[in-house]
Amino acid sequence: MRATVKVLARRAEVFPEGQLVVHEEFRGLRKPIASLSLQRFNYDGDPSDLPTWQALSGTDGTFADTYCPDGNALAMMSIGILPELHKQGLANRLIDAALVLACELDVEHLMGSYRPSQLGAYMVENVDGSPEFYIQARRADGLPLDPWLRALTRKGMELIRYDAEAMKIEVPLRQFNEYRLTPGMRSRVRHLATSDAGEIWLCGATGHFEINDRSVVYREANVWGKIGRLGFVSGGSAAT
């Protein structure tokens, strides 16, 4: 459920300032090692009017038909750091860059429909768990259990609304079966339960699959959060 290179390239055409990338110099080459993708839209201040993540990303995920050039809000849509470079402060640096961008563009709100980075792993390990519970779960120090929500909370992010159907994608049964049998996936994909919606399968990704005799639907929950105006003064160096 990751954005393809083509989709990311199109986002960079639609909203170039909002596609933040950290590069590393290696033997004269600039290699991207971390990125944060932002969308610009209008927020009326009423959490119940917020769109789903999928609606905000546009019909093809490129932001093309939903980007609002004079929108009063920025939404962090997705972040990715090379796994070998986790826990070195890159997420922190990218959030700082988003705060700087929010100031530069003079928007009122910096927010996001955040995909909890470890929700998939949590759901696989906790058969009776739920996304709502995990999103609210805290460590002993009071910070969220989830790494991405934790990094955001350190910057003043407050949860404002559960995005129950952030992403909903229908896939052919054949595609699901191919995916389920690929090496590396076999051990992660497993049957969880039978519900009115059909058979529920987990796959280690944030969401789950619902399978019935008509369709296979991937469904994912996220959470909307907002960094208050005060957070905007935290500053930091913009990513390059």
* Binding positions for ligand COA, rule: CB under 6 A: 78-81, 86-92, 115, 117, 147-148, 150-151
The least CB distance from residue 164 to ligand COA, in Å, is 17
CA 96, CA 77: separation in Å to the nearest integer? Answer: 15
**Nearest one of 58, 69, 107, 46 to 231, comparing CA atoms:** 107
Cβ nearer to ligand COA, comparing 34 with 217: 34
Cβ nearer to ligand COA, comparing 16 with 142: 142
The least CB distance from residue 179 to ligand COA, in Å, is 19
The least CB distance from residue 199 to ligand COA, in Å, is 26
Cβ nearer to ligand COA, comparing 91 with 202: 91
CA 227, CA 232: separation in Å to the nearest integer? Answer: 8
The least CB distance from residue 160 to ligand COA, in Å, is 17
- Please give the structure tokens belonging to residue 153: 């909370």
Tell me the torsion sign for CA atoms 53, 55, 58, 61: positive
In this structure, are strands 109-114 and 73-81 parallel, antiparallel, or unpaired? parallel
Do 71 and 52 touch, CB atoms closer than 8 A?
Answer: no
Cβ nearer to ligand COA, comparing 70 with 141: 141
